[in-house]
Amino acid sequence: MSEDKSNQLTEPATVGLPPVEFHWKPLVVITVVLATAFTALAWYGNQAFTDIEMKAAGIGVTLCWLGSVLGLIPPMFLRGSEQGVNGVLAGMLFRMFIPIGGTFLIHQRSEQLRDANIMYFTLGFFLLALIVDTILAVQMVKAQLSNQNTKTDI
């Protein structure tokens, strides 16, 4: 019997985190926002822009969408009160690097897309995505913290 008690005393007490939850609603929200913005640009640009400019806008919105979706994943998996900010900051790396870095590479390598102002199209979608992503990431972290606080208060 004394052996069982010694094993129980030497094991560290673990604080249980809530299980990892995949939040699909923020991904749908950012997809709908960027798709609506691109549709509005396409409707306006049907007469105002050339085909290569519309292609540049499509590439720009795709890069922003990819960065946004990948940027919303780290806050889902970095849980806990001290990891919430780390999740948002890790997501910012994806959120900023993919659209800006990808557009910079395309801008340097393709003269047609450079002349079609791909950087301006991407920056427009990037600002919209950045605002929406920041709101969604902060809401996800707040929801995780409130869920954790209600479970530990009881």
Q: Is residue 19 part of a domain?
A: no
DSSP 26: H
User: Is 1 domain-assigned?
Assistant: no
Q: Is residue 91 part of a domain?
A: yes
Domain count, the chain: 1
Q: Is residue 54 part of a domain?
A: yes
**Nearest-angstrom CA–CA distance, 68 and 26:** 10
DSSP annotation of 51 reads H
Express each pLDDT in 10-44 by its tens digit: 555 555 555 666 678 889 999 999 999 999 999 99
In a domain, 40, yes or no: yes
Q: Return the closest-CA partner of residue 129 out of 72, 81, 90, 86.
A: 72
**Domain membership of residue 69 as a residue range:** 24-148
This prediction has a pTM of: 0.78
